[in-house]
């Protein structure tokens, strides 16, 4: 057998009593009284080699090998004696009697142990990511990511979407995050920007007559990393459809793909086959979040009108009073309640009021300030029973929703309500086109300035309170994560000028920033709509990972540093001079 006709470890069982060649890494080496046993590993599994002193050359080489050496072995594959079979691995019934052994490359002692039960810390694993990738879990991740991409391509191609790659060196775009800027050598003093999303390009493709576009696009944003957000670069399934005036057409187009990824790809169960559409305001009022996890209830309960005549100052002086009922919450310790109080304060609350229902009584530091009628109303509206706890928010409505929304997530985690085998999908629709920033006391875009306001120009002119204007914008959420954002696009130049004018931007500003887009929209731009799915975040949730950095091959760490390649790094003066910097 030629050396390049090697057999993969997992395939070896098909070649009993045949001469084969295998190659891989030394997983372990054992000396059993003259016989040497070597487990050789490739990407399919592990196969045991047996080398005896009679095999002179092979035995001499076997005595020199160490863990993670790269070797090639040839010999006869035989069945193991019954008492020596290992039923814990697929190849445990066979072994290769090595007659020829070659060291293809040596290996120093590894700085991390990919196959140990206890893994090194993140920075060390990322520094030696090429070793960390040898772990079966990481190999599985890479395969699943490739499978996910194949499914996406198959689905989109079957529906006549045209895959188009858009520029990486692009112009700055107001997607809500900081740009990565690239200085131009040929146009000194000017800068490219890495695209935060292919938004403008995909809209221009619609103007160009492309009926349906998609790509697995690289996007770049200079945002602080977190558990569900990569630093710097991420990938999204970006798509757009021409002659679409209603976002529902896009939602129905992509839903089957998401369902397939949940069930066929990840082997999980959908909470509901019919994916609900939840208006933004309803999501905020019921769940305190525009990306609610629907696997559990614990909805926010409106109590404001229950305290119109209360003597309890905290509730009396609040714009809004709400509560959540935590089933089994009466078991929480004082220390645990203190930790939840700190979470509430971090979200803007002054403190955290609560009632524990124990032994048929409402036990609480605030109970003495509430009337019997008020206590009864609280219990009736929240549905609290013995063993439960009710936690309150009393402040401005936005603060109350944020506080109880965050606590809802924390309580669900504490009481194990997030079933990892279930996936809850939902569409959040009817986002506000503009949002008022209370910190800066200014109005800004709520989401994407390229979305169409519902009702067009009439909607913009119909109200002085611009925060009431609704965008034809929609997000998909999965188990509490935003995995998709989309909208019906603004294909009318007059409306585009006007949505920026509301914020005080001149026509000149709009033309400087979006000249190509504006020009294109004047030459017969069809109505169009689309969306973009964050594939890294989807894969993280479907593979039950807690950190999105675990589902990419070469991630940067939590500080945005590539500790393996040493980037970002300083560049020499000559390079800067060449760029005019």
The DSSP string of 2-22 is -TTSPPPGGGGGGGTTSEEEE
Kindly give, in sequence order, each residue whose CB lies less than 8 Å from that of residue 199, ignoring residues fewer than 6 positions away.
Answer: 173, 175, 448, 450
Pair (407, 440) in one structural domain: no
Pair (149, 82) in one structural domain: no
Task: Give the pLDDT mean for 308-332.
Answer: 95
How far apart, in whole angstroms, are the C-alpha atoms of residue 429 and residue 293? 16
For residue 489, list its beta bridge partners.
451
Task: Give the pLDDT mean for 318-326.
Answer: 96
Pair (148, 271) in one structural domain: yes
Count of positions (residues) in the chain: 581
Task: Give 99-114 pLDDT, tens digit per residue.
Answer: 999 999 999 999 999 9
Pair (379, 495) in one structural domain: no
pLDDT at residue 305 in the model: 94
pLDDT at 1 over 60: no
pLDDT at residue 448 in the model: 79
Q: Could you tell me the two tokens for 199?
A: 């938004």
Is position 357 within any domain? yes
pLDDT at residue 174 in the model: 59
pLDDT at residue 390 in the model: 97
pLDDT at residue 442 in the model: 86
Task: Give 352-396 pLDDT, tens digit per residue.
Answer: 999 999 998 999 999 999 999 999 999 999 999 999 999 999 999
pLDDT at 556 over 60: yes
Task: Give 176-204 pLDDT, tens digit per residue.
Answer: 689 999 999 999 999 999 999 999 899 99
**Intra-chain end-to-end CA distance of the chain, in Å:** 60
pLDDT at residue 4 in the model: 58
Kindly give, in sequence order, each residue whose CB lies less than 8 Å from that of residue 259, ignoring residues fewer than 6 positions away.
Answer: 270, 273, 425
Is position 125 within any domain? no
pLDDT at residue 189 in the model: 92
pLDDT at residue 516 in the model: 85
The SS3 assignment for 319 reads: coil
- The CATH number that applies at residue 268 is 3.30.930.10
Pair (218, 346) in one structural domain: no
pLDDT at 148 over 90: yes
> Could you tell me what percent of the chain has a pLDDT over 90?
87
Closest CA to 427 of 265, 225, 291: 291
Pair (318, 374) in one structural domain: yes
Q: How many domains does the chain have?
A: 3
Pair (242, 309) in one structural domain: no
Q: Could you tell me the two tokens for 160?
A: 């006549």
Task: Give the pLDDT mean for 30-56.
Answer: 93
Pair (532, 432) in one structural domain: yes
Pair (365, 482) in one structural domain: no
The SS3 assignment for 310 reads: coil
Cβ(479)–Cβ(538) below 8 Å? no
How far apart, in whole angstroms, are the C-alpha atoms of residue 573 and residue 563? 23
pLDDT at residue 514 in the model: 85
> Phi and psi of 192, rounded to 5°?
-85, 165
Cβ(250)–Cβ(206) below 8 Å? no
Is position 188 within any domain? yes
Pair (238, 164) in one structural domain: yes
pLDDT at residue 434 in the model: 92
Is position 399 within any domain? yes
pLDDT at residue 436 in the model: 83
Task: Give the pLDDT mean for 64-84.
Answer: 95
CA distances from 578 to 188, 244, 449, 458, 470 (A): 9, 47, 36, 52, 48
pLDDT at residue 2 in the model: 43
What integer best gives the mean pLDDT of the chain?
Answer: 94
- The CATH number that applies at residue 18 is 2.40.50.140
Task: Give the pLDDT mean for 499-505.
Answer: 91
- The CATH number that applies at residue 368 is 3.30.1360.30
pLDDT at residue 205 in the model: 96
pLDDT at 3 over 70: no
Query: At which of 105, 120, 152 does a domain end?
Result: 105
Query: At which of 417, 438, 461 does a domain end?
Result: 417
Cβ(163)–Cβ(214) below 8 Å? yes
Is position 443 within any domain? yes
| Predicted TM-score of the model (pTM) | 0.92
Cα 154 vs. chain centroid, distance in angstroms? Answer: 22
Closest CA to 553 of 130, 117, 118, 121: 130
Q: Which domain holds residue 62?
A: 9-105
The CA-based diameter of the chain, rounded to the nearest angstrom, is 97
Is position 290 within any domain? no
Query: At which of 393, 417, 441 does a domain end?
Result: 417
84 or 531: which leads in pLDDT: 531
Secondary structure percentages of the chain, helix, strand, coil, to 5: 35, 25, 40
pLDDT at residue 513 in the model: 84
Pair (234, 317) in one structural domain: no
Task: Give the pLDDT mean for 319-338.
Answer: 96
pLDDT at residue 176 in the model: 66
Beta strands 277-279 and 425-429: pairing type? parallel
What 118-127 contacts at long range (C-beta under 8 Å, 24+ apart), as own/partner pairs, is: 122/549, 122/557, 122/558, 123/557, 123/563, 126/549, 126/555, 126/556, 126/557, 126/562, 126/563, 126/564, 127/563, 127/564
pLDDT at residue 133 in the model: 96
Burial bucket for residue 400 (CB in 10 Å: 0-12, 13-18, 19+): buried
Is position 370 within any domain? yes
Kindly give, in sequence order, each residue whose CB lies less than 8 Å from that of residue 335, ignoring residues fewer than 6 positions away.
Answer: none
Task: Give 6-21 pLDDT, tens digit per residue.
Answer: 899 999 999 999 999 9
Task: Give 256-275 pLDDT, tens digit per residue.
Answer: 999 999 999 999 999 999 99
CA distances from 283 to 294, 390, 428 (A): 11, 20, 7
Closest CA to 95 of 52, 62, 48: 48
Query: If you ran DSSP here, which 8-state letter would residue 346 be given?
Result: H
Cα 127 vs. chain centroid, distance in angstroms? Answer: 22
Is position 572 within any domain? no
Closest CA to 155 of 264, 242, 246: 264
Task: Give 200-258 pLDDT, tens digit per residue.
Answer: 899 999 999 999 999 999 999 999 999 999 999 999 999 999 999 999 999 999 999 99
Q: Confidence class of residue 175 from pLDDT cuts 50, 70 and 90?
A: low
Pair (273, 151) in one structural domain: yes
Cα 386 vs. chain centroid, distance in angstroms? Answer: 38
């Amino acid at each position: 057998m030629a050396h390049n006709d090697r057999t993969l470890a997992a395939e070896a069982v098909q070649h009993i009593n045949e001469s084969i060649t295998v190659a891989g890494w030394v997983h372990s080496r054992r000396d059993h009284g003259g016989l040497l046993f070597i487990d050789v590993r490739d990407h399919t599994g592990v196969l045991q080699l047996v080398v005896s002193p009679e095999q002179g050359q092979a035995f001499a080489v076997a005595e020199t090998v160490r863990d993670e050496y790269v070797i090639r072995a040839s010999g006869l594959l035989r069945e193991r004696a019954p008492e020596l079979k290992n039923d814990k691995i697929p190849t445990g019934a066979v072994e290769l009697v090595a007659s020829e052994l070659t060291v293809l490359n040596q290996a120093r002692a590894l700085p991390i142990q990919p196959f140990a039960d206890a893994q090194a810390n993140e920075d060390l694993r990322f520094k030696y990511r090429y070793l960390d990738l040898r772990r079966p879990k990481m190999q599985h991740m890479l395969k699943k990511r490739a499978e996910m991409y194949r499914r996406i391509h198959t689905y989109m191609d079957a529906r006549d979407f045209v895959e188009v790659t858009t520029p990486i060196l692009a112009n700055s775009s107001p997607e809500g995050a900081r740009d990565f800027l690239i200085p131009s050598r040929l146009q000194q003093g000017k800068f490219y920007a890495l695209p935060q999303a292919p938004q403008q390009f995909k809209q221009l493709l619609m103007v160009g007559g492309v009926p349906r576009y998609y790509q697995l696009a690289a996007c770049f944003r200079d945002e602080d990393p977190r558990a569900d957000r990569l630093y710097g670069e991420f990938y999204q399934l970006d798509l757009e459809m021409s002659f679409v005036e209603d976002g529902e057409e896009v939602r129905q187009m992509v839903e089957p793909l998401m369902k397939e990824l949940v069930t066929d790809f990840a082997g999980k169960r959908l909470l509901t086959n019919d994916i609900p559409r939840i208006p933004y305001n309803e999501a905020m009022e019921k769940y305190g979040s525009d990306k609610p996890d629907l696997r559990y209830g614990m909805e926010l309960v409106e109590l404001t009108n229950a305290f119109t005549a209360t003597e309890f100052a905290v509730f009396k002086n609040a714009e809004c009073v709400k509560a959540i009922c935590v089933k089994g919450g009466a078991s929480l310790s004082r220390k645990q309640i203190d930790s939840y109080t700190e979470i509430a304060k971090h979200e803007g609350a002054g403190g955290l009021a609560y009632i524990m229902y124990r032994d048929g009584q409402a036990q609480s530091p605030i109970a003495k300030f509430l009337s019997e009628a008020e206590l009864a109303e609280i219990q009736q509206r929240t549905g609290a029973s013995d063993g439960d706890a009710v936690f309150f928010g009393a402040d401005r409505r936005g603060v109350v929703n944020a506080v109880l929304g965050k606590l809802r997530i924390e309580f669900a985690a504490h009481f194990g309500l997030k079933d990892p085998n279930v996936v809850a999908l939902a569409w959040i629709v009817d986002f506000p086109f503009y949002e008022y920033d209370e910190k800066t006391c200014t109005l800004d875009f709520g989401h994407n300035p390229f979305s169409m306001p519902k009702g067009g120009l009439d909607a913009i002119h119909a109200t002085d309170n611009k925060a009431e204007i609704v965008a034809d914008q929609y997000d998909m959420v999965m188990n509490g994560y935003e995995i998709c954002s989309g909208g019906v696009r603004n294909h009318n130049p007059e409306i585009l000028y006007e949505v920026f004018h509301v914020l005080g931007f001149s026509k000149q500003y709009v033309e400087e920033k979006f000249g190509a887009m504006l020009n294109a929209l004047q030459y017969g731009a069809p109505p169009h709509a689309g969306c973009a799915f964050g594939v890294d975040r989807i894969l993280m949730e479907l593979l039950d990972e807690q950190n999105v950095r675990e589902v990419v091959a070469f991630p940067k760490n939590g500080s945005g540093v590539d500790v393996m390649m040493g980037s970002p790094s300083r560049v020499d003066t000559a390079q800067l001079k060449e760029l005019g910097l």
